[in-house]
């Protein structure tokens, strides 16, 4: 029964070369894992810069979105005003009124979008 469990003298003698080989393989694996971890940690450190770049890109995207919403509101308002002026022959008045309405609509959209972005980030 002692040979089957490996606790007797014969079991220790038979397993000694196997254990030595296993111990050597385990040591080599540990060394390779340590080297891999060191390389992996070194490559992860610049990832902080990548996160910073992603944050800047996200802020730029939000800025472009806000500016395009403001410009779109003004352009659409001016277009509608120009169309009313052409249809109704009220030369500058429709253009001026709808240009101002488009500006107000653009500002409202910008404020709404900027406010939604603040709430999403946990601001007040």
**pTM of the full structure:** 0.52
Short-list 119, 122, 104, 118, CA closest to 59? 118
The CA distance from 3 to 13, in Å, is 10
Q: What is the pLDDT of residues 96-121, one digit of tens each?
A: 999 999 999 999 999 998 887 666 55
Classify residue 74: in a domain, yes or no: yes
Give the pLDDT of residue 44.
53
Classify residue 28: in a domain, yes or no: no
- Please tell me the total count of domains within the chain: 1
On the question of pLDDT at 58 being above 60, the answer is yes
Classify residue 113: in a domain, yes or no: yes
**How sure is the predictor about 1, in pLDDT bands with cuts at 50, 70 and 90?**
very low
Q: Which two tokens stand for residue 65?
A: 């979105």
Classify residue 15: in a domain, yes or no: no
Q: Which domain does 96 fall in, by range?
A: 62-117
């Amino acid at each position: 029964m002692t040979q089957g469990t490996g606790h007797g003298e014969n079991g220790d003698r038979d397993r000694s070369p196997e254990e030595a080989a296993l111990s050597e393989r385990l040591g080599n694996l540990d060394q390779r894992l340590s080297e891999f971890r060191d390389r992996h940690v070194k490559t992860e450190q610049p990832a902080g810069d990548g996160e910073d770049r992603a944050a800047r890109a996200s802020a730029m995207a939000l800025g472009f979105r806000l500016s395009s919403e403001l410009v779109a509101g003004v352009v659409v308002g001016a277009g509608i005003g120009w169309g009313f002026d052409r249809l109704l022959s009220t030369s500058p008045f429709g253009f001026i009124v709808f240009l101002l309405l488009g500006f107000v609509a653009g500002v409202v959209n910008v404020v709404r979008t900027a406010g939604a972005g603040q709430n999403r980030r946990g601001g007040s």
